[in-house]
Amino acid sequence: MSRLIILLGPIASALGGWALANALEWSTAQLTGSAGAAAKDDAAARKKKDDDAEDELTADDAPAAGKKGGKGKKAVKIPKRSNRSQGSSGKPSPFDALYNSEQGQMGRKAGAALVFLMTVVRGREFFTYSHQIAHQMSNPSIMFQAKLGNGQTIMVDDYREAYWWLRDNTAEDARVMAWWDYGYHITGIGNRTTIADGNTWNHEHIATLGRCLTSPEKEAHKLIKHLADYVLIWTGGGGDDLAESPHIARIGTSVYKDICPGDPTCRHYGFQSSKRDPTPSMAASLLYKLDSNTVDSNKFEEVFQSKYYKVRIFKVKDVSQKSKAWVADPANRKCDAEGSWYCEGQYPPAFQKKMGKAGRKDFAQLENFNKKKSKEEIEYNDEYHKKMGGD
């Protein structure tokens, strides 16, 4: 949606500016009286043109004047009357009469004044709102005020606290798996490598991350130990990872069809009621077990929980050092050019071997208009939107 707004923003601004300019130009003409003078000049010009305009019609083979039976051409002049803004009698139409009447002029001036007033009032509001949003977006905050059940006002600082814990308590080469929303936080504040961040151009990679988080615990551990040293999740309600997990599962199944076979909307993965009772597939997922802290401690060990339970961090046990060393080796980096900052990246061989059994299907993002979609991808999109629409 953000990309769509960025794409359509300049177009909407240009069309809105054009409409506003025309409205202000009309309003200025009404208030300065130039519209009335222009209307009178136009009416006078039209009348003169109608009086002077004559069509020259030539009648072939008409008898010439004074010559019996002679052949020649006789020019016949027929007055031409303009019907613009006039009825059949040649009088101005009722609408034009009202528009140019004294009452019509007063109404037009009142409308023009209203346009100017609304432009000034709404313009100031829009200006203030735009600067407020710009300030908020340029100064994001990961801390916020909240109230406890007893009415006490507190400052929730869980997120910064968690990222600083990563910075101060993990190795510099530690890799952290989290949903991509928090990737930039982990890198910028925690100074640690993240598996994914807000640069979501690689849909297949995001789907792979979704598969790791929504798979059953045992299967998830077999994958994650080749990619990450820690797993960070947002908990505590209010848009946490568990609430987001049905969407995470849908993204995963767009590439790995066996997550939700035959259902691109993953309706069997989620909550069964308003009481947040999980479906069997959600209850078995790694994300649910991490959130409820019922995960096998031999696979994932909880090492950090924030003050108000907004963030939990788990250490991945039995990490594959072979895969970690393979990824760290510069010879295994896949870049556009030698020394390039942009590297497409590759998964370690052991991880690729595990994922090869998952029925992987590459899937381009919907926003990629440069790629012609296959029949299967088109059918998948159609089915997805149909089911999401309630059919």
Q: Are strands 144-147 and 153-156 parallel, antiparallel or unpaired?
A: antiparallel
Question: Can you give the pLDDT at residue 26?
Answer: 86
Is the pLDDT reported for residue 82 higher than 60? Answer: no
What tens digit of pLDDT does each residue of 199-234 get? 877 788 899 999 999 999 999 999 999 999 999 999
Work out how many domains the chain is built from and give that number. Answer: 1
Report if residue 32 sits inside a domain. Answer: no
- Rounded CA separation 235/237 (Å): 6
Report if residue 43 sits inside a domain. Answer: no
| Least confident window among 29-33, 90-94, 364-368 | 364-368
Neighbouring-strand partners of residue 216: 285
Is the pLDDT reported for residue 81 higher than 80? Answer: no
What tens digit of pLDDT does each residue of 291-343 get? 999 999 999 999 999 999 999 999 999 999 999 999 999 888 887 776 666 67
Rounded to a whole number, what is the distance in angstroms from the first to the last CA of the chain?
23
What tens digit of pLDDT does each residue of 234-253 get? 998 878 999 999 999 999 98
Residue 72, SS3 per DSSP: strand
- Rounded CA separation 152/68 (Å): 117
Q: Enter the tokens of residue 250.
A: 């849908």
CB 300 within 8 A of CB 315: yes
Neighbouring-strand partners of residue 194: 176
User: Other C-beta atoms within 10 Å of 155: how many?
Assistant: 9
- Rounded CA separation 4/72 (Å): 72
Of the candidates 52, 56, 38, 50, the one whose C-alpha atom is nearest the C-alpha of residue 90 is: 50
C-alpha torsion sign, points 243, 248, 253, 259 = negative
Report if residue 72 sits inside a domain. Answer: no
Report if residue 24 sits inside a domain. Answer: no
Of the candidates 153, 166, 159, 154, the one whose C-alpha atom is nearest the C-alpha of residue 141 is: 159
Report if residue 21 sits inside a domain. Answer: no
Report if residue 70 sits inside a domain. Answer: no
Backbone angles phi, psi at 12, to 5 degrees: -65, -40
Report if residue 64 sits inside a domain. Answer: no
Question: Can you give the pLDDT at residue 383?
Answer: 76
Distances in Å between the alpha carbon of 194 and those of 39, 136, 174, 390?
69, 25, 9, 36
Report if residue 299 sits inside a domain. Answer: yes
CB 197 within 8 A of CB 184: yes
- Rounded CA separation 241/292 (Å): 12
- Rounded CA separation 236/293 (Å): 12
Neighbouring-strand partners of residue 230: 176, 315
Q: Which has the higher per-residue pLDDT, 94 or 160? A: 160
> Beta-strand (E) ranges in the chain?
54-62, 72-79, 144-147, 153-156, 175-177, 193-194, 230-234, 300-305, 311-316
Q: Name the one residue in this structure whose structure tokens are 């060990």.
A: 301
Where in the sequence is the domain holding 362, given as residue range(s)? 157-388
Q: What is the CATH number of the domain that holds 254?
A: 3.40.50.12610
Question: Can you give the pLDDT at residue 222?
Answer: 95
Is the pLDDT reported for residue 51 higher than 80? Answer: no
